[in-house]
Chains A and B, each alone.
Chain A
Amino acid sequence: MSTVLQHTINGLTLGTIYALMALGYSMVYGVLYFINFAHGDVAMVGAYLWVVVLMGKMGLPSGLAILLSLILTAFIGIMIDRIVYVPLRRAPRLAMIISSLGVSMILSTGAEVVFGVFQQPVPAIIPNKIFRFGGAVMNLHHLIILLVSLVLMVGLQLLVYRTKMGVALRAVSFSRETAGVMGIDTDKVTSFAFGLGSLLGAVAAIMVGIYYGSIYPTMGATIGIKAFTAAVVGGIGNIPGAMLGGLLLGVLESLAGAYISSGYRNAIAFSALVIVLLFRPFGLLGSTGRGVDRA
C-alpha cells in the first residue's frame, strides 16, 4: 500500500510540472487557436538562463536568478509573438504551426551550439530533507514543487476569473473580432498570454532541472510533447483541463512504470490517453463548443 502511495506522490510531482507546462500551450491556444510548438523550447531557454547565465556566469544567488530568468523568459515569449506570429495573425493556422516548429528548431539547436549538447548539472538549491508519512517518503524538493505548482495554478485561476485582464483574456478567446470592437487591445492580451505562458513554462523547466538534477537542450521537446498531450487530453484551451491532464499523465506514467513495465511506462501512459480521446474526443473537460471545433 505504501509503495502505491509513494508512486502516486512521485507521479503527482511530475504531473504538476507537466500541468504547468500544459497551461502555456492552453493559454496560447485559448487566444490564437493554434498549438505553439516552440513553447517547450522557450521554457528550456528559461532553465538555461537560470543555471548557466545568471547563476553560472554572473554568479547571482539562486532565488534572484530564478526571478530574473522568469522575467527574461516571459520577455522572450512576448518577443517571439511580436516578431513571428503577429505578421501571421490573418494567416491560416497551418502557417503558424510551421513557423512555431521553425522557432522550436532555432531555439533547441541554438541552445546546443551555445551551451553544448551534454547534460548541464543543476546545483542543489533545496536542502535534502526527508519527510516520512504513512510509509511513504517525501523529499523537500517534491514538497516545494507541489506547493509552488498549486499556488501558481490557483493564482492563474483567480487571475482568469477575478481580474480585468482575465476578463479580457476570456473575451479574446471567445471572439477576437468582437473583443476588438469592444475596445479590448487584443494584441496586448495576446502578448500577455504569451508572456505568462512562457513564464509558467520556465517555472516548469526549472523544476524539471531541480527534480532530475540536470538540464539538456532537447528537454523542451521531451517535456513539451507530454505537456501538449496533457493539454489536449484535458481539453485544450481549458485551464482546469490542462491541470487535470497533466496530473493524470504524471500519475499514470509513474504507476505504469512501477507496476507494469519501466521500459513501456510512456507507451502505457500514451495508450491510456489515446483511449481517453476515443471516448471523449474533445478531451476530458473540453466541450464540442466554439474553439475546440475550430481545431
Chain B
Amino acid sequence: MTSKRWQATALAAAGLLGVPLVVGNPYILHVGIFLLMYVALSSSLNIVLGLAGQPSLAHATFLGVGAYAAALAALRLHWPYWVNLGFGGVTAALLGLIVGLPSVRVRGHHLAIVTIGFAQIVRLIEINWDRLTSGPMGLPGIPTATIASRPFGRIGFYYLFLLIAGATLFVVNRISRSRIGRALAAVRDDEMAAEALGVDTRYYKVYAFVISTFWAGVCGAAYAHYMTFVSPDSFTQADSTTILCMVILGGSGTLFGPVIGASVLALAPELLRFASGYRYMLVGLVMVVAVIARQSGFDRLWKRTAAMLGRLLPFGLRGRLHRNG
C-alpha cells in the first residue's frame, strides 16, 4: 500500500470512528449499526462468491447459526459476550464446513440448490427443536454486552460492528493478495485449468466456505447481543438473497464493491420510508434499473466514477481483483 492509501485509510477510519461522537440520534446510530453489519456480511459472502466463485444462498442462515449459538451460550452457560463472538463464529464455520463439502462435487446452480436446501433444513430445526431453540417464539432476554460492567449501549455496538466490518474487509484484502487468493481466483476462473496446474481446488473451495461463514457467525453473535432477541424469522431466505444482491450489485470479487452494494441496499429501505408500503417495490426497482443502467451505456460512467472513487477511497477500487463479470 502506498503512503497515499494509508492516509486515505486513516482518514476514512477516523471519519467512521467519529460518527457516534457527532451523531446523537439513536435511530441514525441504529441504521449505522445495521449498515456496518451488512457491510461485514456482504464482504464475508464475497470470499465465497467473489473470490472463489461459488454461489451461496444461505449466508443469512450462518448469521442465524452464529446468533443462536451466542444466545444459547449466553442464556444457558452464562458465557461472556466476547467468548460468544468467537463461539458463534466457530459454530457457523463448522456448519460452513459441512455446506462447503458438497461444493467438491456439485457446481453452479446445483450448488446454489444445495445451499438453499441447507438453509431450509436449519430454519426448520430452529422452528421445530423446541427444547433447544424454543421454536417460533425465539429466545428473548439475551444479556447485552458490557464493558467494565457497564452496558455497551448503541455507541458501544457501533464500534463493535465497525471492528467486525473492518476485520472482515482486512481479511478479504489479505486473502485476495496472497497465494490463497490467487488459488481461489484460479478456481473461480477455470477450475479444470487450476487443477491441472496443481491447485488443490477441493481444499480451497472448502476453505473459502469456512472463512466466509466464520465471519457471518461472528456477526450473528454480535447481532444476538445487540438485539437481545433471536427468532427463526430474523434469518430468512429473503435475507440471504438480499446479501447476495449486495455483493453482486456492488461488484463481486472487488474489495469495495460489496461495501457499496450493502450501503445502497441497506440504506434504500430507510431513505424510502416516506413511500411506506411501496418502499420494497422501489428497492426492487432500484435493483432492476441499476443493473440495466450499468449494462447499457452507463458502463463507462460507472467506470469513471469507480476510478474517481478509487483515488479517494482507501485501497481503491483499482485493487479490484478481476474483471467484473
Partner of B248, one of A90, A98, A261: A98
- Chain B residues with Cβ below 8 Å from A295 are 107-110
Q: Is there contact, CB below 8 Å, between B106 and A277? A: yes
Alpha-carbon distance A104/B113, docked complex (angstroms):
18
Q: Is there contact, CB below 8 Å, between A98 and B287? A: yes
**A273 on the interface (CB 8 Å rule)?**
yes
**A165 on the interface (CB 8 Å rule)?**
no
**B198 on the interface (CB 8 Å rule)?**
no
Partner of A229, one of B116, B121, B248: B116
Q: Is there contact, CB below 8 Å, between B278 and A88? A: no
Partner of A98, one of B106, B249, B283: B249
Alpha-carbon distance A84/B292, docked complex (angstroms):
8
Closest to B49 in A: A94
**B141 on the interface (CB 8 Å rule)?**
no
Q: Is there contact, CB below 8 Å, between B291 and A277? A: no
Q: Is there contact, CB below 8 Å, between B127 and A273? A: no
Total contacting residues, chain A, CB less than 8 A: 46
A179 nearest CB across to chain B (Å):
23
Total contacting residues, chain B, CB less than 8 A: 44
- Chain B residues with Cβ below 8 Å from A84 are 288, 292
Query: Are A263 and B128 CB-contacts (below 8 A) given A102-B285, A113-B277, A278-B102?
Result: yes
> Hey, what's the 0/1 contact readout for A267-282 against B, CB within 8 Å counting as 1?
1001101100110011
**A14 on the interface (CB 8 Å rule)?**
no
- Chain A residues with Cβ below 8 Å from B113 are 228-229, 232-233, 273-274, 277
Partner of A102, one of B109, B127, B284: B284
Alpha-carbon distance A90/B281, docked complex (angstroms):
26
> Hey, what's the 0/1 contact readout for A112-144 against B, CB within 8 Å counting as 1?
110000000000000000000000000000000
**B194 on the interface (CB 8 Å rule)?**
no
Q: Is there contact, CB below 8 Å, between B105 and A102? A: no
Alpha-carbon distance A103/B281, docked complex (angstroms):
9
**A183 on the interface (CB 8 Å rule)?**
no
**B125 on the interface (CB 8 Å rule)?**
yes
B50 nearest CB across to chain A (Å):
10
**B120 on the interface (CB 8 Å rule)?**
yes
B268 nearest CB across to chain A (Å):
11
Q: Is there contact, CB below 8 Å, between B291 and A91? A: yes
> Hey, what's the 0/1 contact readout for B245-276 against A, CB within 8 Å counting as 1?
10011001000000000000000000000000
> Hey, what's the 0/1 contact readout for B104-143 against A, CB within 8 Å counting as 1?
0111111011101110110011011000000000000000
B162 nearest CB across to chain A (Å):
28
Query: Are A225 and B325 CB-contacts (below 8 A) given A236-B109, A277-B102, A278-B102?
Result: no
Alpha-carbon distance A277/B283, docked complex (angstroms):
34
- Chain A residues with Cβ below 8 Å from B249 are 98
Q: Is there contact, CB below 8 Å, between A271 and B248? A: no
Q: Is there contact, CB below 8 Å, between A266 and B124? A: yes
B115 nearest CB across to chain A (Å):
9
- Chain B residues with Cβ below 8 Å from A267 are 120-121, 124-125
- Chain A residues with Cβ below 8 Å from B25 are none
**B237 on the interface (CB 8 Å rule)?**
yes
- Chain B residues with Cβ below 8 Å from A232 are 109-110, 112-113
Q: Is there contact, CB below 8 Å, between B287 and A271? A: no
**B3 on the interface (CB 8 Å rule)?**
no
> Hey, what's the 0/1 contact readout for B296-325 against A, CB within 8 Å counting as 1?
100000000000000000000000000011
**B241 on the interface (CB 8 Å rule)?**
yes
> Hey, what's the 0/1 contact readout for A74-115 against B, CB within 8 Å counting as 1?
000000000010011011101101110111111001101100
Alpha-carbon distance A101/B237, docked complex (angstroms):
12
Q: Is there contact, CB below 8 Å, between A263 and B287? A: no
- Chain B residues with Cβ below 8 Å from A35 are 109, 112
- Chain A residues with Cβ below 8 Å from B280 are 105, 109
**B234 on the interface (CB 8 Å rule)?**
no
**A283 on the interface (CB 8 Å rule)?**
yes
Closest to A283 in B: B110
A70 nearest CB across to chain B (Å):
25
**A174 on the interface (CB 8 Å rule)?**
no
Q: Is there contact, CB below 8 Å, between B291 and A88? A: yes
Query: Are A274 and B118 CB-contacts (below 8 A) given A105-B280, A109-B281?
Result: yes
Alpha-carbon distance A90/B295, docked complex (angstroms):
9
Most interface-central of A110, A232, A273 (chain B CB within 10 A): A232
Partner of B288, one of A91, A103, A110: A103
Q: Is there contact, CB below 8 Å, between B281 and A105? A: yes
**A161 on the interface (CB 8 Å rule)?**
no
Query: Are A113 and B281 CB-contacts (below 8 A) given A267-B124, A277-B102?
Result: yes
Closest to A90 in B: B295
Q: A residues touching B (Cβ–Cβ < 8 Å)?
A: 35, 37, 84, 87-88, 90-92, 94-95, 97-99, 101-106, 109-110, 112-113, 221, 225, 228-229, 232-233, 236, 261, 263-264, 266-267, 270-271, 273-274, 277-278, 281-283, 292, 295
Closest 7 CB pairs of A and B: A295-B108, A105-B284, A102-B287, A270-B117, A106-B284, A263-B128, A102-B288
29 contacts between A and B (CB under 8 A): A37-B241, A87-B296, A88-B291, A88-B295, A92-B324, A95-B295, A99-B287, A99-B288, A99-B292, A102-B291, A105-B280, A105-B284, A106-B281, A109-B277, A110-B281, A228-B113, A229-B116, A232-B110, A232-B113, A261-B128, A266-B120, A270-B116, A270-B117, A270-B120, A274-B102, A274-B114, A274-B117, A277-B106, A278-B105
Given contacts A105-B280, A221-B237, A270-B118, 7 further A-B contacts (CB under 8 A): A94-B252, A102-B283, A103-B284, A105-B287, A229-B116, A267-B124, A281-B107
